[in-house]
Amino acid sequence: MGEQNTKEISLIIPCYNEQESLPAFFKEVTAVLEKMSCTYELLFIDDGSSDRTLSILREMAAKDKHVRYLSFSRNFGKEGAMYAGFCNVSGRYVAVMDADLQDPPELLPEMYHLIRDEGYDSVATRRVTRKGEPIIKSFFARQFYHIINKISDANIVDGARDFRLMKREMVDVIVVMSEYNRFSKGIFGWIGFKTYWLPFENRERIAGETKWSFWKLFKYAVEGIINFSHVPLSIASWFGMFMTMVSFIAIIFVVVRKLLFGDPVAGWASMVCIITLIGGVQLFCMGIMGQYISKTYTEVKKRPHYIVAESNLEHDEKVR
Ligand code: UDP
Ligand code: MG
């Protein structure tokens, strides 16, 4: 990346089957950036789309020199796409934006002003409403933020988006944090730096459908908790301690009863209850440990985060 290629602003846009929203996104973002009169680049990451996303990107790149794109060999997920973006942009200020216009481009000038003139290292956005979202999704999202903030050292604001403008220094740190199981909101919070939070009203996606099923989101939430907290692991030892105490009391109770009243053979039902309860708790705790072990396993293998099949960058990192 030569000095002359360094842009003032780089936007990273992960796209997975976004043929309906891309043209509108491109138009709006370009309009905003052109008004800001600074150099910029748009790096689109085609995350293994099966629709016309890639050919739209090729057309856009042919028409507009600001457009860069990387296309993955398959779907690696938004986290992989964002990481590829961070590894391949040159901008002094960098932001990730969704392709569906749920991250309002008209916030960019204010974010740029705050980061450049007010001395912030990053300007992050958060939704203050979740209007237009299924109630059940909002409910679980809220619970997730509540729990993760209680039990982890990464401070994650409720409603925080991945849309935030960051200084080069921060981006360099994010690239260094090359963990395979990524949870970017946690990483942004974990690395610190001075952040300004810009609130905005939720917007519905302009076209197409959400790529996150409830199950995918649930797994992502578990990922976030496992990646940024060791509290679930200690649940096992607390359970163990509690059980040991209870069984001590039970032993005394049983022995005393035997000495005082003899041993009438009874209590099959309570025995079964105790055995199944303890069995259940043990399996649960082993499951928690299993989660951490499986994460460790995927980290140790050091598989690449993404594989690039096609791009229009001069020097890109094909695999990372
Ligand atoms: N996305 C991606 N890979 C995926 C899923 C999503 O790159 O496997 C992109 C998607 O194209 C969009 C952004 O991530 O630009 C956010 O996805 P979406 O709007 O579907 O999520 P929601 O806003 O509903 O949470
Ligand atoms: Mg969206």
pTM of the model: 0.81
Query: 3-state SS string over the chain?
Result: CCHHHCCCEEEEEEECCCCCCHHHHHHHHHHHHHHHCCCEEEEEEECCCCCCHHHHHHHHHHHCCCEEEEEECCCCCHHHHHHHHHHHCCCCEEEECCCCCCCCHHHHHHHHHHHHHCCCCEEEEEECCCCCCCHHHHHHHHHHHHHHHHHCCCCCCCCEEEEEEEEHHHHHHHHHCCCCCCCHHHHHHHHCCCEEEEEECCCCCCCCCCCCCHHHHHHHHHHHHHHHCCHHHHHHHHHHHHHHHHHHHHHHHHHHHHHHHCCCCCCHHHHHHHHHHHHHHHHHHHHHHHHHHHHHHHHHHCCCCCEEEEECCCCCCCEC
Tell me the per-residue pLDDT of 253-299, one tens digit each, with 9 for 90 and over: 888 888 888 776 677 777 877 888 888 888 888 888 888 898 899 88
Q: Evaluate: CB of 205 within 6 angstroms of ligand 1.
A: yes
Tell me the per-residue pLDDT of 193-235, one tens digit each, with 9 for 90 and over: 899 998 888 777 777 778 778 888 888 888 888 888 888 888 8
Distance 81 CA to ligand 2 centre (A): 15
Question: Of 159-173, 244-258, 260-274, 293-307, where does mean pLDDT reach its minimum?
Answer: 260-274
* CATH no. of 3-228+303-311: 3.90.550.10
pLDDT at 2: 46
Tell me the per-residue pLDDT of 40-81, one tens digit each, with 9 for 90 and over: 999 999 999 999 999 999 999 999 999 999 999 999 999 999
Q: Evaluate: CB of 127 within 6 angstroms of ligand 1.
A: no
Q: Evaluate: CB of 47 within 6 angstroms of ligand 1.
A: yes
Pocket test for ligand 1, best of 211, 219, 220 (most atoms within 8 A of CB): 211
Q: Evaluate: CB of 78 within 6 angstroms of ligand 1.
A: yes
Ligand closest to 210 (CA) is 1
